[in-house]
Amino acid sequence: MNPREITEHFEAEILCSYACLSKDTKGRRREQEKCSLRTEFQRDRDRIIHSNSFRRLKHKAQVFLYPTGDHYRTRLTHTLEVAQIARTISRALRLNEDLTEAISLGHDLGHTPFGHEGERVLDMLNPNGFKHYKQSIRVVDYIDKLNLTYEVRDGILKHTNQTAETREGCVVRAADVIAYINHDIDDSIRAGVIKETDLPEEATNILGHSKSERITTLVNSIVKNGAESIKMDDEVKYAHDKLHKYMFDSVYTNPKCKSEEKKVKDLVGKLYEYYIKDVDRLPEDYRELSYEFDRETAVCDYIAGMTDSFAIRTFEELFIPKGWNAL
């Protein structure tokens, strides 16, 4: 047996009955010869990591727009934290870690610059609508053309508000929630928006009084309930929901945190208007997408792929007057 076949054999021997085995994948949109070293899900993970869209996540905002400090989360560090939490849960439940990791690393590839505000602006402007989880599928299918397996694509598409077909996909959805609520608290404390002591006691008394304690409690609760359900205990879920409501009221809708979002609406709106008037202004690859689909989709493809800094530079080049250099 080659290394891939040995790994597939071990998966069948070790993983639980709810796990998705690599050898049982429903396959890719375009058939390809299998790798002799890596399983199909390991191969997907590697393709995502080596993609342009994955690298650009390091310069896309998580909660705080275009933060100047070195320690604030970006969309990339969020993705890595989701992958770490999801792998921990999958390992404890004897699910397929490779599938879990691939879904985790790919789940936010379609996210816009400037966090969810950028997503809201494109959703408002595009008559077809815009959702980052659907855009992530466009990224892997048409932009980076990664040709991923059905199970990884399903987990990416359904990580926000649907139930994935695999338990591994369900784990990623849970890990995403665990990661962002806790690292957003951490970043908000760092930014001076809230203090640890401001968090509701009815939540922290159950979950814990530090980021590490809260993540441990949430992960343990899911693991305790087993691979059949992928859910938290009622008490832990209640505490988590209380914590989420506090963050929504105190951070996610906080005027101090959201003070720059009107500028995002103006910036993204102007870029959309500029390119929608003439798709020949788009780079060649995106012009071709406009012919294959429609101009609104292609313009959203291009803008959604921008980093925060690139979007700002592009706006400045297009709309901000430059100083005159006399000859």
Note down the domain range covering 277: 120-129+260-321
Task: Report helix, strand or coil for 302.
Answer: helix
- Residue 62's pLDDT band, with cuts at 50, 70 and 90, is confident
Q: Which two tokens stand for residue 257?
A: 């945190």
> What is the average per-residue pLDDT within 93-106?
98
Distance CA 103, CA 133 (A): 12
pLDDT tens-place string over residues 9-33: 999 999 999 999 999 999 999 999 9
> What is the average per-residue pLDDT within 42-67?
92
Rounded to 10 deg, the angle between the 167-190 and 234-247 helix axes is 40
- Is 35 a member of any domain? no
- Is 178 a member of any domain? no
Instruction: Evaluate whether 164 touches 96 at the Cβ level (below 8 Å).
Output: no
Task: Report helix, strand or coil for 74.
Answer: strand
- Is 191 a member of any domain? no
Phi, psi of 172, deg, nearest 5 = -65, -40
Task: Report helix, strand or coil for 149.
Answer: strand
Is the pLDDT at 324 greater than 90, yes or no?
A: no
- Is 97 a member of any domain? no
Residue with tokens 């602006």: 121
Residue with tokens 């390119």: 275
Distance CA 228, CA 134 (A): 27
Is the pLDDT at 55 greater than 80, yes or no?
A: yes
- Is 243 a member of any domain? no
pLDDT tens-place string over residues 185-220: 999 999 899 999 999 999 999 999 999 999 999 999
Is the pLDDT at 327 greater than 80, yes or no?
A: no
> What is the average per-residue pLDDT within 256-271?
88
For residue 306, how many other CB atoms are within 10 A of its CB?
22
What lies within 8 Å, CB to CB, of 2 at 6+ separation is 36, 37
Is the pLDDT at 106 greater than 90, yes or no?
A: yes
Instruction: Evaluate whether 285 touches 304 at the Cβ level (below 8 Å).
Output: no
Number of domains in the chain: 1
- Is 248 a member of any domain? no
Task: Report helix, strand or coil for 112.
Answer: coil
> What is the average per-residue pLDDT within 225-235?
96
Instruction: Evaluate whether 98 touches 171 at the Cβ level (below 8 Å).
Output: no
Is the pLDDT at 64 greater than 90, yes or no?
A: no
Distance CA 10, CA 201 (A): 45
Q: Where are the alpha helices (DSSP H) in 107-254?
A: 115-125, 132-138, 150-157, 167-190, 201-207, 211-225, 234-247
The least confident of 100-104, 256-260, 287-291 is: 256-260
Among residues 264, 306, 265, 267, the alpha carbon closest in space to that of 283 is found at 306
- Is 41 a member of any domain? no
Cα-trace Rg, the chain: 21
- Is 177 a member of any domain? no
Q: Which two tokens stand for residue 58?
A: 């390091």
Is the pLDDT at 98 greater than 90, yes or no?
A: yes
